[in-house]
Amino acid sequence: MDTPTISLTDSLPADIEADRLVIAVIPSGDGVQVAEPNIDDDHAEWLHHVITTLGVKAEKDSVRTIPSPTGWKTPSVVLVGIDSETPTAHQIRYAAGAAVREAGKKERIALALPGSGPLHTKAALEGALLGGYRYAGKKAEPSDSPWSELIVKGGLDQSDIDQAVASATAVWQVRDLVNTPPNKLYPSLFADTVTELFDGSDVSVEVWDDKRLAKEGCGGLLGVGGGSVRPPRMVALRYQPKDPVGHIALVGKGITFDSGGLSLKAPTAMIGMKYDMTGAATVTGVMRAIANSGSRIAVTGWLCLAENMPSGTAQRPGDVIEVRGGKTVEVLNTDAEGRLVLADGLQAASEERPDLIVDIATLTGAARQALGERYAALMGSDVARDVLSAAAERTGEMFWPFPLAEELRSGLDSDVADLANISTGNSLGGTMVAGLFLREFVGTPEHPSIAWAHLDVAGPANNSSGAYGFTPKGATGATTRALIDLVTTLDEDTFATLRQ
């Protein structure tokens, strides 16, 4: 999708020239009011009468479009609800997305939302860009971009504008990849797409095909991908600045379609399984955001790409595989495949001794059952969990910390391998069991202690209900902005703490 021209203005609402102007409605005593002080008394009274008559609410996702007051240069006003008299940047971002999403296709959209400084203005810009996303897709008539110009009231440095655009563009990239049909984005095509995407950028791309995977001992990817005629791939993306302050590795689950393998899913459960590569898509989006950012943090992205299919060459329940690093795994359920490909990726990442490893995966249905479709489950070592939580707080992302319950670890014991890929005889705590499994592959014998965090995005990766805020139905790009914040803002003191 094309990025619109972005303009800033300090004009009064009445003087802003656009097709639609977005202003906010906020609580006021027992009623509501327009959150824009620069409106003359007559027009303010008229607007108050309109919103009272129409029952416009100061609530999330309350959006109404009305004709502009007489004499205004914008023909239509979009009234968007915010449920606070003093909105935060997160609330501004949400409201801007909701308004632009509902505004429809207009050439020029302007936003005059409340806020006292660059933080709120940047949030309005970012929310509008996120809310304006459209998936062009494979339709006979692809969707056009919903705008040509986006006008935001307020002041911003060019660097803030660039950051907002980079963040939104990264989320668009994630949504595009995840929305792509699985017959159009299998492992080798995913690798080709990523190679083309980073051509000429500061990010280098290295692709491991199935022969290289065998040479490198990546039995998780080869085992999962063995049932498909489309072989697996591992893609390493590297951003390496001069004299980096630290090194972060991102490992993304990239199951381009998940049938469950021989542990076959029910037909209805396969619907939407193109979303099972969201982790790899998220890593791709984050790497795109930092590709030419000038960040002093080195970042390596590992995309673990495979198609999980049933066939005569598929792995069987009861098979024992050897993953990278030499540990053996008894595969008791071929539908618990994401953790197997991540095992290879976590080991490959660990061998380079980064200061922090974060893996992102649509890993367990249990996480979706526990947290719904808006929260990502967060697990890992204490310091890693803390820095991820802080990044989520700064960006308005929704992470929920889970413990790594040690009493569940014994369920992964196996009589014939180092561990099993599911807990035997107990289906409880599936999200935490998966986290305990992944922990086994973080670190190496020479360097066993590496800060690590695991994000289970099985819920928020895909919005199966109606759109809300800046989030469309379908692929959401959730967690991308928090990870961009993480890989661009950590300082030397934080890295020192992570290394302890």
| Pairing state between β 203-208 and 76-81 | unpaired
Question: By 3-state DSSP, what share of the chain in percent is helix, strand and coil, each rounded to 5?
Answer: 35, 25, 40
> Is there a catalytic annotation at residue 339?
yes
User: Quick one: 25 exposed, middle or buried, by C-beta within 10 A (0-12, 13-18, 19+)?
Assistant: buried
Catalytic residue among 230, 288, 339, 385: 339
Q: How far is CA 152 from the centre of its chain?
A: 25
H or E stretch at 7: strand 5-9
Backbone angles phi, psi at 23, to 5 degrees: -130, 160
Structure tokens at 52: 């009272």
Cα distance between residue 309 and residue 313, in whole Å: 9
Catalytic entry in 60, 134, 265, 409: 265
Cβ distance 310 to 264 under 8 Å? yes
Burial 387-423 (b: 16+ CB within 10 A, else e): bbbbbbeebbbbbbebebeeebbebbebeebbbbbbb
Residue whose token pair is 């129409």: 54
- Give the count of alpha carbons within 13 A of 83, CB side only: 6
Backbone angles phi, psi at 207, to 5 degrees: -110, 125
How far apart, in whole angstroms, are the C-alpha atoms of residue 61 and residue 80?
7
In sequence order, the 6+-apart residues with CB closer than 8 A to the CB of 123 are 89, 90, 92, 93, 96, 115
Measure the CA–CA gap between 49 and 45, rounded to whole angstroms.
6
Which residues form the catalytic set? 265, 339
